[in-house]
Amino acid sequence: MFECSGGICRGVIYHARFGRNELRPYKPDGPPLIMEDSMKITPIDIQQVGFAVCFRGYDRKEVDQFLDTLAQDYEALIKENEQMKEKTASLEIQVIELKKKESLLNNTLIAVQKVVDEMKQNAQKEVSLLIKEAELKAEEITKAAREERLRLQQEIQDLQRQKVLFLEKIRSMLRTFEKTLELEEKDLVLSEKRDYK
């Protein structure tokens, strides 16, 4: 029941505080009573909210029209909010999927980079091994060539010594042969002299 006096009404009415989406009982002579958090305001609550009828008050028809419009707008906002929630949930799912794909891509890139690094390392090791083998072969060839040169030089020196010895032997044989011839000539001359006597 409402009591009106001098344009002032006393009683329990409901008014909406849309910033918090709740209805509160309003008592002019006392503090407002806060409703439970689970009791959210709905478009029907707006349409069915009651106001005290007072002298010099607002036009009831205009208030009802305003409340109808407000209820429609509020219902549209609720639908829009639900759509936004759905879109947000969908976007969150997409973000999660993108993060998964990004993580998978990063892992793939890391794996590929690891394989490339291993291939580079193996290639470098193989090249280093080939270079080392080539150097060892070159050293072996150089050593073999040096030894062959020394052997040939030794053979040449041996041949030169043998040549000298051979020539000396031939000269000695020639001298011996020459002396033998001289002796034979002398013997021949003496023999002829004896024959003439």
Q: How big is the chain, counted in residues?
A: 197
Region 137-156 average pLDDT: 96
pLDDT tier at 27, thresholds 50, 70, 90: very low
pLDDT tier at 88, thresholds 50, 70, 90: very high
Give, for 25, the enclosing helix (H) or strand (E).
Answer: strand 22-26
pLDDT > 90: what percent of the chain?
A: 50
pLDDT > 70: what percent of the chain?
A: 72
Q: How far apart are CA 116 and CA 109, in angstroms?
A: 10
Contacts of 149 (CB under 8 A, 6+ apart): none
Pairing of strands 3-5, 13-17: unpaired
Residue 173 tokens, joined: 């044989």
Q: How far apart are CA 178 and CA 184, in angstroms?
A: 10
pLDDT tier at 70, thresholds 50, 70, 90: confident
Model confidence at 21: pLDDT above 60: no
